[in-house]
Amino acid sequence: MPNPLSVTVVKDFVRGDVPHAAAEVLIVMSFHHLPKARRLLLSASCFALLTAGVSPVFAQQPEPSNVLPTIVVSPTGLPTPQDQVASSVTVITAEEIERDQRRTVPDVLATVPGLNIVQAGGAGSQTSIFMRGTNSNHTKVLIDGIDVSDPSNPNRSFDLGQLLTTDIERIEVLRGPQSGLYGADAIGGVISITTKRGKGPAKVTGLLEGGSFGTFNQAAGLSGSQSNFDYAFNVSHFRSTNIPVTPPNLLPPGRRAIGDAYDNVTASTKLGLDISDSFRLNYVGRYTEGELRYTGDEFLPPTYAGVPSGVQSSRHVKQFFTRGEAVWTGFDGRFTNYFGVNYTDHWNENKLTPTSIPTVDTGTRTKVDWRGVALLMPGQTLVTGAEHEIETMHASAVKADNSNTGVYAQLQSQFSERFFVVSNVRHDINERFGDATTFRVAPAVILPVTETKLKASYGSGFKAPTLNQLFVDFLPTFVANPNLRPEKSLGYDVGFEQPVFNNRLRLGATYFHNDITDLISGTGIVTTVPYVVRTNVNVGKAETSGVEAFVTIRPADRLWLRADYTYTKAIDAMTDLELLRRPRHKASVTASWNPIDPLTVSATVLHVGSWIDGNRDFSIPRLTAPGFTIVNLAGDYRLNEYAKVFARIDNLFDERYEDPTGFLRPGFAVYGGVRLTN
């Protein structure tokens, strides 16, 4: 598997598409009392203000600013100019995260095309990712090359709700089946997160922020490099105490809603040591401890329908991720070897009431891997690798383990300055279900004269059965199935990208299609005597398809805009019904303006159309949930070289909506603070 830990040096060359300066402004507007149509009109006005007076500049087609090409790593495992990559990948930089003042990764990913982020409450709540209409456990999440999925989770997925952004350097969202390089779980795609690396003289950073819902955040960091050693240490604390989540209409008469409270402490370390010109050691470590107090459900007579409880439940999470790596380069730089060891440890405690006995689930994963990168000849790079991992789970008084060995090869070819092809194949041998072979082919060509980029990809993916599905019974009505097979997929996409006006304007669109078979469903019947006992079986089929389109505009050097639209159709191929929580329409517009050097203001409009959902306790299994539109504003102002003040407004027009159904999302909120650096 490609390892971003080894290639974080690419950050030194990445500028991205937005102005590098980050500054700010605060515009407080309380229009939540206005009707929805007027809110949408005012949302558009925010962008009209940002673009006022720049149309004549754009018409003159000025020379583009000196922006270096964006480098991506996740599509191939190697630093590659994005123009040479056929895969659909979105890059989010630390500068963009700071500009928009997003403190959690789910908030960062909310506007990414092809994704639907569902968070059952406020910060710290259970978070699911639906990429290109696939299931929430079909996205592989990596942090510095570490697979952070939780073996004790019933779906073996990773809860992004615990992930803060303080130490993140970049996020790459790679869409489409990627198991040919990344192995299991990458049916929908991959989210690869790279943390910050020390560079230059010692740098001390600090952040203080406060605001709505009892929010109080702090962060501190120390980073730098000296001679052959680089280092980065970061610690952050996130706290919110009263986020309204429970819809009042669901409460029994006389019961008062209690807001969610969340507390998170995250510490991370990243070290690098150059032993010689050809040998380097890398290390990363990350520890997170989070506690969420939330309103669960209780089932009252006579109907025993679920209603929000009068007392709070709690969830306590501890996560530890670490990786050590040795990098050796030989043969005059033509062959580089990466030898690595990963370890992850998940600890999850749940208490339904303050006085109840807690349940604790744990999951670990140990992995050793080797990757070799060989320059065969100019324009031809061969990547080969092998890895072995062991995962364990202790949940519901059941202990279980599994092991997997994978080998892969990839050829990255540049046949000319305009024609590029990446092809890979992988074979996995799993202790429980046997073998799986996957692949991916992705060509891209840039046409002369028009500079149109045509791209396509075709590949396969698989999702291994989880330890929970294989071994955990829920007696007396449900039993595990140790004979499950992996879920499988085939998918393709085709698209184009077109630069216009000296790359001041760039637009593109991609059509995608995925067929998923052997989906695991809990509908199998073991017996009906004396009552129905069910189990998991491989019977499901699904089909997802859609279009992702974008436009980026830089009408002036200090103004940048981007618009994205996603259409997704996700169907259960057995019943022809739409899959839950996959809205057909999603659109977003982001603008960033740097009118003077110390000041930057940004605005984001996000629209999500209606979707099929169940009610809070799924006593109504299918209903149509209304869509929503929210507007966020952010700004910062640099006081001097050491201090910057910032502020933001989330949900400017106080849109009241539930996502998912039965769980309110936060309304109008204001935050502000100061960022310090030496």
**Mean pLDDT for the chain?**
91
Instruction: Give one word for 471, left, alpha or beta, with left for phi > 0 and alpha for psi -120 to 50.
Output: alpha
Neighbours of 464 (CB within 10 A): 23
- Span 370-399, pLDDT tens digits: 999 999 999 999 999 999 999 999 998 899
* Predicted pLDDT of residue 61: 47
pLDDT number for residue 529: 81
C-alpha distance from residue 475 to each of 399, 478, 533, 590 (Å): 16, 5, 9, 50
- Euclidean distance between CA atoms 290 and 237, whole angstroms: 10
What pLDDT sits at residue 4? 44
- Chain centre distance of CA 642: 31
* Sign, CA torsion 347/353/355/357: negative
Q: How confident is the model at residue 3 (pLDDT cuts 50, 70, 90)?
A: low
Q: Kindly state the average pLDDT of the residues 461-482.
A: 94
Task: Determine which of 14-23, 56-65, 347-356, 370-379 has the lowest per-residue pLDDT on average.
Answer: 14-23
Q: Which helix (H) or strand (E) holds 96?
A: helix 94-100
Instruction: Compute the chain's Rg from CA coordinates.
Output: 25
Q: How far is CA 632 from CA 81, 153, 461, 649, 659, in A?
A: 31, 33, 36, 6, 17
Reported as a single tens digit per residue, the pLDDT across 291-323 is 999 999 988 777 777 889 989 999 999 999 999
Task: Tell whether the model's pLDDT for residue 58 goes beyond 50.
Answer: no
Distance CA 107, CA 124 (A): 11
In this predicted structure, the answer to whether residue 666 has a pLDDT above a threshold of 80 is yes
- pLDDT of 153 above 50: yes
- The mean per-residue pLDDT over the stretch 109-133 comes to 96
**d(Cα 102, Cα 129) in Å, to the nearest integer?**
17
pLDDT at site 568 = 99
- Region 162-179: mean pLDDT is 98
Tell me what pLDDT residue 19 has.
30
Percentage of the residues of the chain whose pLDDT score is greater than 70: 90
**Residue 368, pLDDT above cutoff 50:** yes
C-alpha 192/C-alpha 77 separation (Å) is: 11
Tell me the pairing of strands 189-195 and 203-211.
Answer: unpaired
The tens digit of pLDDT for each residue in 498-535 reads 999 999 999 999 999 999 999 999 988 888 888 889 99
Q: Looking at per-residue confidence, does 236 or 30 come out higher?
A: 236
Residue 571 bridge partners (DSSP) = 543, 578
Q: Exposed, middle or buried by CB within 10 Å (0-12, 13-18, 19+), for 219?
A: buried
Count Cα atoms within 13 angstroms, Cβ side, for 234. Answer: 27
Segment 543-552 mean pLDDT: 98
Residue corresponding to tokens 């690595």: 340
Say which range, 46-55, 266-275, 445-454, 658-667, has the weakest mean pLDDT.
46-55
Task: Decide which of 169 and 8 is more confident.
Answer: 169
Percentage with pLDDT > 90 across the chain: 83
pLDDT tens track for 396-417: 889 999 999 999 999 999 999 9
Domains of the chain with bracketed CATH: 4-677 (2.40.170.20)
Least confident of 2-11, 483-492, 508-517: 2-11
Residue 51 has pLDDT above 60, yes or no: no
pLDDT level of residue 27 (50, 70, 90 thresholds): very low
Confidence bin at 1 (pLDDT 50/70/90): low
Lowest mean pLDDT of 10-19, 221-230, 377-386, name the range. Answer: 10-19
Q: Are 172 and 192 in contact (CB under 8 A)?
A: yes
Look at strands 533-556 and 559-572 and give their pairing: antiparallel
Q: What angle do CA 205, 591, 238 make, to 5 degrees?
A: 35
Q: In whole angstroms, give the CA distance from residue 478 to residue 472.
A: 9
In Å, how far from its chain's centre is CA 541? Answer: 25
Instruction: Give SS3 for 109.
Output: helix
Non-local CB neighbours of 431 within 8 Å, separated by 6+ positions: 402, 403, 404
Q: pLDDT tens digit string along 550-571?
A: 999 999 999 999 999 999 999 9
Cis peptide before 595 (omega within 30 of 0): no
Q: Compute the residue count for the chain.
A: 678
